[in-house]
Structure 1
């Protein structure tokens, strides 16, 4: 019996070492944050609302436009010392009123908005600078062009599925067109992004055995699409009034949903997906999704958003099987101040009728030879060929995130400007996530995470940041029982925990070096090879062009 167990345990390992985590990681970042951002879209407040977490500050749109006298797009000779503030326009401009939207959609800094620094190599926030003034002219006319690259090297020193190292290069190109500044129409923003990933294959990179990807960049442009470049996002945001707006198109489920007030960009901060999005969402969403979303903000500090998202969208296809199943999503965003320190709370609910594995009775009759494959599929392998799968067509989740600054070094005027523009504050804060999903249809049925984040504490190191975080993913008791039953008690799946610590060192504001360390207890699929932990070191290098 031991020899038989050893044989199929190794077989499960071979299944898992391939593209096993791909499907699970596909959706995680996806929807939750998108609507969380949309929820704050139109609500405006100079204090509690407009704090840069998602669509905050959209309610300032009308006031901001009233403050700017209508005028034609400026020529180069009209540039002032403050090139990054509101631009006089004949049409309502979202970049003027709510500049936070652009870095929110890009998941990174945007040239031509407040926070941009030109000048010498050691000071500029974009490596290629102003292109002799042409880039500023384009931004003032509503066209924002940004490129980001992140190089990641990981060395898994012990545990996981298999120790080893890999290298991955992510490149993102984003274009935003503000229709107001461009002289087209009021209150519109068109966004387009392409994502590229080169380097290690899924077989090499998904080797941690964890229930979540240890590097969020492995999801771009798709977990299975390595060594390629694909269009990942193309959508329209349209403001209708101070209280209503909508978004339609293919959105990023990595950048937009479940967004906290600070600290969730894998380009600069935490690498592990559990600190960027709620892990439960991976069972519902892919990294991109066709979406139609609406937002209503009854007050300056509270907004609601809801809509429908497609569970089948991928970067590799335009609209294959689009909306044959749906995710129905509802969220709220509440912003507040405690003793002048910004905070944010955002719950979200999702119901879906997409097919998901029924963990109470996952298979029909299977042959003994199929047991290794069946167990591998339960632990995350995408290989279900030939298995008599029993699906459920109804599931849901309830998640929430909260963020709170504990200390801010910026003065009140500078803080207000940064929050409205999506520029990270200098200070210390804490953020966390929690979620629940039915154990019958979800691998992760309960989760929680908390992280301490600091940025720019020393004035001489204003762009440096550091963080330490812990997460717990509660594995479905139904899944644990099924694995135990199919393996005759040889495998025992336990709840997974993990921690990460990182330091983001700014060589220049545009060039970052980010070492980090992660330790994971009881990685979900690590049990297939007898490992109860994962240790890995990572070095990232990010350049903002």
Structure 2
């Protein structure tokens, strides 16, 4: 692809994102844009439940099962399967969290998740050049710590689902083309496996450090295809050069009446419209803007710093009912359900000659504020890999996230609870330490302080531990 073609592709995708955002926001051209702008500001880590594990950069390279799993290479069986085009990964995650003060009441409980992922290489299996497939089955178990004890609007744990279930969560086919610089993926596809994702926030267990709260929140009609309920969709990704990428996806909406259920939304007739989302990203390190800041990249140095800046936008069709606004006949007014986000993450320090490093992230997203409870959210934090010499795989993290409810959202929440809200914001600070004790065994204590849970409850303190087994 020539420089001119790359430039044209990037400009075209940027224009598409701009059109997507502006078409959902009739008032932006007349001043709301300025208001919105003023308001905005690893593989070593476990994936959130339902998120695809793995890294496209390592595609084609066999994992080191002896160093990353409890059961190893199964006497060579895993390597033979991999050589034939089949990779099988099984992860069990168990959390115990307890609310020690505030919230709804003191109490806690266990939550578990089994994730079986099968990746297929189409060329090795069938001679299908550039083809691949992915199947993920999940099984949830345990209680509902947030629902029963905390009462946070954003949640407390990315394992917690409305109901326990066992079944298919992800099932898609992918075709790569343009010498691997583009790919098309279609099937049962969760958006939070690729969109609005920051690697440096992956260590945290709070749900909003995956896909942020304002996008994950359901609107008045429907919500997105994310854990624990997915739906059919298609995604196009283009990587014109190593420093740039662009993605565009369309997915069926999950009806709002399914908030208290879980399972794939596989019926087109029972879906509620569709969601269109796009994201453009840039890597300062890959573009060479930081030079040899992290040291010379020798042949024996496979270190790769985190480095990404991305802009995304999304909108649903058809129009949604506004949360509380009505016309003169007391009929609900309708509006476009849309939003946009900006994220950035960067490794800012590396201990020379090691993989010990410090990475920072920040994310801001906003919605139309009429069809969704949340008007915007902001999160930021840091993760320090290898905080102590001799413990290069440990990760220490501290982060905070805040969600803001706009006037219609606050009115709806107050009406549903039957009592006035005490705040328009809910804020969470999480402190965690992830420690691999054996190959495939990770222990992770966690502490959260939640301010104004549910926008009206006493401040809550949640403490617990995560145990993750990679088999």
Aligned positions of 1:14-29 closer than 5 A: none
Alignment match, 2:236: 294
CA contact (8 A) 1:253 1:289 kept: no
SS, match of residue 461 in structure 1 = coil
Deviations 1:482-504 (A, max 9, x none): 55689997444421111000011
SS, match of residue 147 in structure 1 = strand
Instruction: State the 1:457 CA deviation.
Output: 3.9
Instruction: State the 1:244 CA deviation.
Output: 2.6
What is the distance in 2 between the residues matched to 1:144 and 1:179?
12
SS, match of residue 231 in structure 2 = strand
CA contact (8 A) 1:312 1:320 kept: no
Alignment match, 1:351: 315
Q: Indicate the structure whose relative CO is greater, using CA pairs within 8 Å and at least 6 residues apart.
A: 1
What is the distance in 1 between the residues matched to 2:328 and 2:187?
39
SS, match of residue 153 in structure 2 = coil
Among 426, 434, 458, the residue aligned to 2:356 = 426
Alignment match, 1:275: 209
What is the distance in 2 between the residues matched to 1:347 and 1:166?
38
Alignment match, 2:29: none
Deviations 1:249-298 (A, max 9, x none): 1112343321113331xxxx211012122111122314223111222334
Alignment match, 1:303: 245
What is the distance in 2 between the residues matched to 1:253 and 1:166?
29
Q: 1:118 to 1:459 in 2, by over 3 A?
A: farther
Alignment match, 1:39: none
What is the distance in 1 between the residues matched to 2:140 and 2:352?
36
- Asked if residue 462 in structure 1 is aligned to residue 392 in structure 2, the reply is yes
- Asked if residue 184 in structure 1 is aligned to residue 114 in structure 2, the reply is no
Alignment match, 2:76: 133
Alignment match, 2:325: 361
Aligned positions of 1:71-470 closer than 5 A: 106-107=52-53, 116-119=63-66, 124-200=67-143, 202=144, 205=147, 207-218=149-160, 223-226=161-164, 228-242=165-179, 243-264=181-202, 269-282=203-216, 283=218, 284-287=223-226, 288-312=230-254, 315-321=263-269, 325-337=273-285, 338=290, 339-340=293-294, 342-353=306-317, 356-361=320-325, 390=332, 392=334, 394-409=336-351, 411=353, 426-470=356-400
CA contact (8 A) 1:275 1:451 kept: no
Instruction: State the 1:390 CA deviation.
Output: 3.3
What is the distance in 2 between the residues matched to 1:508 and 1:109?
22
Name which of structure 1's ranges 400-409 and 490-499 shifts more when overlaid on structure 2.
Answer: 490-499
What is the distance in 1 between the residues matched to 2:125 and 2:352?
33
CA contact (8 A) 2:306 2:359 kept: no
SS, match of residue 390 in structure 2 = helix
SS, match of residue 149 in structure 2 = coil
When the two structures are aligned, how many residues end up with a matched partner? Answer: 394
Which blocks of at least 5 consecutive residues in structure 2 are unaligned?
1-5, 7-42, 256-261, 295-304
CA contact (8 A) 1:143 1:177 kept: yes
Name which of structure 1's ranges 324-333 and 252-261 shifts more when overlaid on structure 2.
Answer: 252-261
CA RMSD of aligned residues (A): 3.2
What is the distance in 1 between the residues matched to 2:65 and 2:209?
32
What is the distance in 1 between the residues matched to 2:437 and 2:325?
54
What is the distance in 1 between the residues matched to 2:388 and 2:60?
24
Give the TM-score of the pair, scaled to structure 1. 0.66
SS, match of residue 216 in structure 1 = coil
CA contact (8 A) 2:100 2:107 kept: yes
Which blocks of at least 5 consecutive residues in structure 1 are unaligned?
1-42, 44-98, 366-387, 415-424
What is the distance in 2 between the residues matched to 1:117 and 1:500?
31
Instruction: State the 1:342 CA deviation.
Output: 4.3
SS, match of residue 181 in structure 1 = helix
CA contact (8 A) 2:414 2:421 kept: yes
Q: 1:471 to 1:178 in 2, by over 3 A?
A: same
SS, match of residue 479 in structure 1 = helix
What is the distance in 2 between the residues matched to 1:485 and 1:175?
45
CA contact (8 A) 1:176 1:189 kept: yes
What is the distance in 1 between the residues matched to 2:118 and 2:417?
51
Give the TM-score of the pair, scaled to structure 2. 0.75
Instruction: State the 1:160 CA deviation.
Output: 1.3
Instruction: State the 1:357 CA deviation.
Output: 4.9
Instruction: State the 1:452 CA deviation.
Output: 0.7
CA contact (8 A) 1:194 1:230 kept: yes
Instruction: State the 1:458 CA deviation.
Output: 3.6
What is the distance in 1 between the residues matched to 2:198 and 2:343?
7
Q: 1:400 to 1:541 in 2, by over 3 A?
A: same
SS, match of residue 284 in structure 2 = strand
What is the distance in 1 between the residues matched to 2:447 and 2:110?
16
